[in-house]
Amino acid sequence: MRDEERYPIPAEVPSQGTHWETLGPESSLPQVTVIDTWDSRPLGYGHGLYVSDAQHSFEPEGHSPPKKDAESSAPVLEKPPRRRTIFGLRRRVFWMLAGAVSALVIVGAVVGAVVGSSRIGSGGGNAGGSSTSSSSPMAAANRHIGAAAMNVTGSTGTNVQVVYQDLNTSDLLYRLVWNDQASGEQRLSLSPAPQRKTPIAVTTTNTTASDGIMTNVFYLSEDTNDSSMSTICQVTLQCSLNAENCTVSDATVISANATNGVVNTSGLAATLVSDNVQARVFYKAGSHGVRVLSGTSGEADGWQDTVLGSASYAGSDISVNLDPDEDTLQVIFVNKNTKEFETFLYSDAAGPGNTPAVAIVSSDPPGWSTDDMFSSCFVPELNQHHLYYVSSTGGLYGMWANGSSANWTQTHVADWGTVQGGIASVGWGTQVRLLHVAGDPATLSRVRAADSMKAIRTGTKPPLATY
């Protein structure tokens, strides 16, 4: 059945109730010397301009002075030679002033060039991308993290792709984790640039070991026409096995068909469905109703928009799990009116239809706040859905349910430590990893347990480790 048949487009359901130091090289301004062109020596003693105070007579050849009688033999006082001036100023004064002005002009030009080049340097980023810098770092508590995991086809290994946002720019950062061994941090300088505090959703797939892994990262970018809205962007990473970095495609906008737009406080969740080709991206519309975009993974065009229903709480996360054996999707969000976790559970083949949302708990979970970040995953060999959230004090809490059961069990393990910012959870086999980042540069931490639920039930506390 085609996506447009499984996902008809009904009308919207009404609401129910990280300083850049300009570390340029130390620039020394050129030393400007003002040369005094006045010479204190008399004319005839070298170069220079000089007017003597002494009087010098000059008689042209072949002429004699006229004779004077006795009365006129008295010495005649001659006028002193007229001083030579420029614009009313003595030459000495004029040239001194001109030299000083020239020096100031040269110094100003040099300073301007140094400052200008520093500013140009501070605005640069990695080639081929654009990022938004900020005069003040983003608070770590506002940083989201996304992750996806898989058993690598044709290999006994596992891969986890972890993506989070830089605190000092809008860039996204990612790390590849092969068999619980993390590679170094890599930077994604993207255009369109991610907005600050963007949620992040990640999907991964591969078909053979030689193909490597294809990762799709979804994020929000500011809508240039409406500051209250955003666009959903997708970037594809092609990663060779055991590589430290990936080949990155150009980012594309996939939300052109979003019926009511994408609110700028929307959460994001994404998953591939059973064919590992089609993707589902969940978001909040302008009315905060939960909607889904359905399209081909890695493609920019052809995404279809479908409404799921109930309005979600502004600024809260969205999460989705796929049970591949049953081809069912479980979408988790916070209800706008009750401020409790709710879930849509439906068959992807049939589409959401009029599936009602069901409350996960009948009262607020311990330590819960509607602004707290959360993440969920499906553990296939246990047939369990897991939901983890960060309390207002940074504690990690969890709950799980078997299959499609609405009966969820809650837990809290103090040894998991405290979290600053968002978390991501991934599951495969009987394995679960809880991932979070802290600090700048970021430290990536994980909770690792061979059988997460068994460890919790028996009181064995899964260790918190740092990559």
**pLDDT digits over 23-53, tens only?**
233 333 222 222 222 233 332 322 332 233 3
Find the mean pLDDT for residues 217-241.
Answer: 95
Q: What is the per-residue pLDDT across 55-64, written as a single tens digit (0 to 9) for each?
A: 333 333 444 4
Q: Which residues contact 71 (CB under 8 A, 6 or more apart)?
A: none
Question: How far is residue 348's CA from residue 439's CA, in Å, rounded to a whole number?
Answer: 39
Q: Using pLDDT thresholds of 50, 70 and 90, give the confidence band for residue 125.
A: very low
Of the two residues 117 and 259, the one the predictor is more confident about is 259
Cis bond before residue 441 (omega within 30° of 0): yes
Q: What is the per-residue pLDDT across 99-119, written as a single tens digit (0 to 9) for each?
A: 665 665 555 554 454 444 333
Question: How far is residue 454's CA from residue 457's CA, in Å, rounded to a whole number?
Answer: 5
| pLDDT higher than 90, residue 196 | yes
3-state DSSP of 156-187: CCEEEEEEEECCCECCEEEEEEECCEECCCEE
DSSP 3-state of 433: strand
Burial of 387 (0-12, 13-18, 19+ CB in 10 A): buried
Q: What is the per-residue pLDDT across 174-185, written as a single tens digit (0 to 9) for each?
A: 999 998 888 999
Q: Which CATH number is correct for 127-466, 3.30.70.930, 2.120.10.70, 3.20.20.70, 3.40.190.10?
A: 2.120.10.70
Query: In percent, how much of the chain has pLDDT > 90?
Result: 34
